A and B are shown apart, each in its own frame.
Chain A
């Protein structure tokens, strides 16, 4: 089946089997290996990407379901060579150790801040509750997302 999926703003047309999962479409067909592939059972959340702006676990979405729609992966967060505020937050607050969960965490963090620019700690923990950090580095992940919220505010204040 021929599908066209817009990934990080660029349309890609490919011939795929209906049973191909979105995570493998991104990694194997498009070579976008920033999206990680973990438990394969929609539990761990490392494969989280945004589908039309909403975080989904791409191991449990068929690539054909993304036909005609927009996908954002971690490769699409950077703008004009500048990291997104959530990426900067993870750098500043040591939000990653092994980095396996990081791409999925970043995409959920971006979605959360787009919806709620000033989340409290409880709201951040709730938002990432479907994603596992195998290093158990949750404290710093929460701090990183909070850092991004504060950085975005101070940037707005300067403008």
Chain B
């Protein structure tokens, strides 16, 4: 029987209250929402926080998905299942539908949250690559107010993020650009597992050429979950199979996969190229008004 070590438990009734509790308990306190990364780690005693601050009651502040101007705002407490079910979000960005359908399983997705996934900072976590591909911005609140950090600077290493011990990730903001398509491709050993490798692609096509490109890579040691060299190759070129295949090759060249129980490094590198190619091709097909549909 797995039992977490003892901890203090506090329930936040507002974001300012959560921040006060973080100040009171200090750096050994942890925020808990869905708990589907943290609680298993606590049961294995890999994590032994002195206090848990439960933010599950903050859905009215942190649980909304809404279009605000030219951005889609996603609250940190939005559950995976809620993002998957939100037609506005998944129509604007099919990459969310692709990724959320293969994150864990439907029951886990009822609890796990978008913000929790990003803050866990697991190198194999799908949404980190998705938001990196989308060039989203993280909104972080602390005692001095809110600040924003590009998601491409949010992850500072495995399980390390830009969120300070006295701060709370409250929202992700995704820029909405007309003419944009997106997709996510993942290979897993069995349904619901972490990826062997995965790739997300976001492209904006304007006047027949790629005006903007985002590529996110999961579980292959890509710095900040993205592939800037491959993105650069796409800019200004007409979308097409050759161009996408070359971008895949470049993405694979610049990542650093490691061999582990999910597969050898050379296989993961092969997947990085192939999944990038496939994600780009599908992203291109779902660009609104795309002639190749």
Q: How many angstroms between the C-alpha atoms of A102 and B102 in the bound complex?
A: 24
Nearest CB in chain A: distance from B117 CB, A: 14
- CB nearest neighbor in A for B51: A18
- CB nearest neighbor in B for A45: B107
Which of B's residues lie within 8 Å of A, judged by CB?
A: 1-9, 11, 35-36, 39-40, 42-43, 52, 54, 56, 104-108, 110-111, 191-192
Given the known interface contacts A41-B40, A61-B111, the answer about A130 and B106 at a Cβ–Cβ threshold of 8 Å is: yes
The 8 Å CB contact of B1, one of A1, A17, A40, is A40
Which of A's residues lie within 8 Å of B, judged by CB?
A: 1, 17-19, 21, 40-43, 45, 48, 54-57, 60-62, 64-65, 108, 126-127, 129-131
Q: List 23 A-B contacts (CB under 8 A).
A: A18-B6, A18-B9, A19-B3, A19-B4, A19-B42, A21-B3, A40-B43, A41-B40, A42-B36, A57-B111, A60-B35, A60-B111, A61-B35, A61-B39, A62-B39, A62-B52, A64-B54, A65-B35, A108-B107, A127-B106, A129-B105, A130-B107, A130-B192
Q: How many angstroms between the C-alpha atoms of A41 and B41 in the bound complex?
A: 9
CB-based contact A42/B9 at 8 Å: no
Nearest CB in chain A: distance from B106 CB, A: 5
| Chain B residues within 8 Å of A45, by CB | 105, 107
Nearest CB in chain B: distance from A115 CB, A: 10
CB-based contact A60/B9 at 8 Å: no
Given the known interface contacts A18-B52, A54-B110, the answer about A1 and B9 at a Cβ–Cβ threshold of 8 Å is: yes
CB-based contact B107/A57 at 8 Å: yes
CB-based contact B7/A129 at 8 Å: no
CB-based contact B9/A130 at 8 Å: no
Given the known interface contacts A19-B3, A40-B1, the answer about A64 and B107 at a Cβ–Cβ threshold of 8 Å is: no
Q: How many angstroms between the C-alpha atoms of A17 and B8 in the bound complex?
A: 9
The 8 Å CB contact of A60, one of B6, B11, B40, B106, is B40
CB-based contact A129/B54 at 8 Å: no
CB-based contact B111/A129 at 8 Å: no
Q: How many angstroms between the C-alpha atoms of A130 and B6 in the bound complex?
A: 29
CB-based contact A60/B105 at 8 Å: no
Nearest CB in chain A: distance from B286 CB, A: 22
- CB nearest neighbor in B for A131: B107
Q: How many angstroms between the C-alpha atoms of A61 and B9 in the bound complex?
A: 13
The 8 Å CB contact of B56, one of A48, A54, A65, A129, is A65
- CB nearest neighbor in A for B4: A19
CB-based contact A60/B36 at 8 Å: yes
Q: How many angstroms between the C-alpha atoms of A19 and B11 in the bound complex?
A: 14
Nearest CB in chain B: distance from A111 CB, A: 9
Q: How many angstroms between the C-alpha atoms of A84 and B1 in the bound complex?
A: 32
Q: How many angstroms between the C-alpha atoms of A62 and B110 in the bound complex?
A: 15
CB-based contact B6/A129 at 8 Å: no
Nearest CB in chain B: distance from A39 CB, A: 10
